[in-house]
Amino acid sequence: MRQKPGNPYPLGATWDGEGVNFALYSENATGVELCLFDASGQETRIPVRQQTAFVWHVYLEGIRPGQRYGYRVHGPYDPEQGLRFNPHVVVLDPYAKALDGKEDWDKGVFGYRLGSPHEDLEPSDTPQLGAPRGVVIDPTFDWEGDGRLNIPFHRSVIYEAHVRGLTMTHPEVPEELRGTYAGIASEPILRYLRELGITAIELLPVHQHVDDKFLLDKGLSNYWGYSSIGFFAPDVRYSAAVRRGELAGEVREFKEMVKALHRAGIEVILDVVYNHTAEGNHMGPTLSFKGIDNPTYYRLVEDSKRHYFDYTGTGNSLNVRHPQTLQLIMDSLRYWVEEMHVDGFRFDLAATLARELHEVSQLASFFTIIHQDPVISQVKLIAEPWDVGEGGYQVGNFPVKWAEWNGIYRDVMRSFWKGDGGYAADLGYRLTGSSDLYQDDGRRPYSSINFIVAHDGFTLRDLVSYNEKHNEANGENNMDGSNDDRSWNCGAEGETDDPEVNALRARQQRNFLATLLLSQGTPMICGGDEIGRTQGGNNNAYCQDNEISWYNWTLSEENQALLEFTRKLVRLRLEHPALHRAKFFKGRKIRGADIRDIMWLRHDGEEMTDEDWNNPITQSLGMFLAGQGIDDVDEDGNPLQDDHLLMVLNASHQDIDFVLPDPGTGRDWELLVDTADDHAQERCAPGDTTHLLARSMKVLRCPRG
């Protein structure tokens, strides 16, 4: 094994066909040892003597893909100065492309002496070998011409799902593939997603994560995976190849999944966690960053560098003010786009990434770098626009090119359909793409990622079935999870045999789904809502890798009907350009017709007045969308035309008759959707009335001519 100085770039372990270049950044270390491990765990230490611009590097001839490795990093152990070097700890390369397994708490993962009366101030002097090892990979893969699909945002329908939850119990997925990337790439899942009609799947974190010790001690695990430790490595937990004993097989398997989804016309969006890591606070484990260069990678409290800023509620926050940490994030993002072919990212607690000092700044370095990056700026960028720090709620404040999870949309729609008054004006904004949030900064309606529920909270079925959370299975005396999901139910608490209650719940689920999928903006379905998935009232199932979180694919007649209804809505949205406009409405008059591109109507057929909008008892309205003046073009550049559409919503507890407008076409209105009756058929002349049950919604079309 001949040793050469190697190169400081690229970081990580890079195989060139003859050997491997190893490069690790640490500006505060006094020495670095590369540790090579064989399959039995036997260790060989290689001193890394070359350092260029704080990058320690070495090249070893003869090393091949499949080599396991880690680092021992030397330097001061002085937590009060923010330094936590300890060569007794073998740490994971932040740039590792594959791992040899999960963390092993029993083999030691702490840089300090556990049980010491001085807490984390006294370094451990025993071997700490519990961090996973990096694995050198062969990056070659036959993509067969695959590339990003580049589906326009305004024509997108996103489906949020978990790799395991989606596939674990599907009867047609081979048992050995369930819960894996290969399971998602299997024909039964691809067929299901195609028939549902979605255009993108947004996967909960697939970066390698850590199962917290306190969860393992309770027989639980970190199911959601928002506890990253490897920003380049697909999690080994979700690999059928790894189960078969194929070292680093998760990389090839992930690529095969992406290729299969692309062939099915479905984009891949990754939920990524660059705001914190799994190493927690000052009492947390040392797995990677903390033992490599703690002050480079983490935001430390200025006058108490032993401690970490915690804008995330997880114990630490990444130090995006440091250029090396920014490089780490950008290198990771480019890797997933260029090497793994993903189509976009949803950034968890993205407001944390904008914090230059204590205040959230739209012009933070992170966003500036992304804006000018020729690769990352061209994929879908979605922010979760809040964190838990002061001033962390930033809905509507992210830069151009960014879409956002619109928490205001969620809250307004829930309140409106619950029957709360005073939401008419807000409802108008949310149905039309939230122009109050996105129009003035160069963004479009599709910048609003509309959702009713997401992984974090009740499922849609539970939202209409429970007054209170039921998180007892989490082992925290039901004290965990948000209380914001309360009081949306329709009748009895939990499951019931009462036909009236179940009918109302079914209608409310349809109301939410219809509103979501027919609003301007980009809809996101929480996976399983289309088949009535329930978590038994658990609104914080982050630690439930079991039937609580997995899909139940044995569909009742009711849930099969809900699935068909959802498929119908997705088709309706994608078939009608008026329902997914690329630009905001202008309220302008349509040439040659006595109508405007959008009109708001009362149930008596008259247009809404300011008094109606501001009346706290207004609980019904109609939204007329003209089939002309859509301000969008087809692939050939021709102006898009559509039928006239009418959405009529009644959130009150009383039935109403709604007078249908006359768009001047001489054609009747035809019923497309009735949330109270999947099989309803109706044809009405302009000026006639349509009957809306309490808490129901209809969509009608009138041919343009």
3-state secondary structure of 350: helix
Cα dihedral value 22, 25, 26, 31, nearest 10: 10
Give the pLDDT confidence of 164-189 residue by residue, as tens digits: 999 999 999 999 999 999 999 999 99
**What is the number of other CB atoms lying within 10 angstroms of the CB of residue 400?**
13
What does residue 81 show for φ and ψ, rounded to 5 degrees? -105, 10
Q: How far is CA 45 from the centre of its chain?
A: 40
Q: What is the pTM of this model?
A: 0.96
**What average pLDDT does range 612-629 have in this prediction?**
92
Give the pLDDT confidence of 11-67 residue by residue, as tens digits: 999 999 999 999 999 999 999 999 999 999 999 999 999 999 999 999 999 999 999
The H-assigned helical ranges of 289-376 are: 289-297, 323-338, 365-372
Q: Which domains does the chain have, with CATH numbers?
A: 3-135 (2.60.40.10), 159-577 (3.20.20.80), 586-702 (2.60.40.1180)
**What average pLDDT does range 368-382 have in this prediction?**
95
Choice among 100, 310, 348, 674 that is catalytic: 348
**What is the number of other CB atoms lying within 10 angstroms of the CB of residue 439?**
16
Element (H, E) at 683: strand 683-684
Rounded Cα gap, residues 447 and 383, in angstroms: 10
Per the annotation, the verdict on 78 as an active-site residue is: no
Neighbouring-strand partners of residue 335:
none
3-state secondary structure of 127: coil
DSSP letters spanning 517-562? HHSBSEEEEETTGGGT---TT-S-GGG--STTTS---S--HHHHHH
Rounded Cα gap, residues 210 and 238, in angstroms: 13
Give the pLDDT confidence of 273-285 residue by residue, as tens digits: 999 999 999 999 9
The residue ranking higher by pLDDT, 296 or 487, is 296
3-state secondary structure of 105: helix
Quick check: 561 pLDDT over 90?
yes
Per the annotation, the verdict on 390 as an active-site residue is: no
Neighbouring-strand partners of residue 40:
none
Rounded Cα gap, residues 32 and 444, in angstroms: 49
Give the pLDDT confidence of 678-690 residue by residue, as tens digits: 999 999 999 999 9
Choice among 267, 384, 462, 529 that is catalytic: 384
Give the pLDDT confidence of 208-237 residue by residue, as tens digits: 999 999 999 999 999 999 999 999 999 999
Contact between residue 382 and residue 370 where contact means Cβ atoms under 8 Å apart: no
Share of the chain above pLDDT 90, in %: 86
Q: What is the pLDDT of residue 360?
A: 56
In this prediction, residue 489 has a pLDDT band, given cuts at 50, 70 and 90, of low
How many H helices and E strands in the chain?
Answer: 16, 31
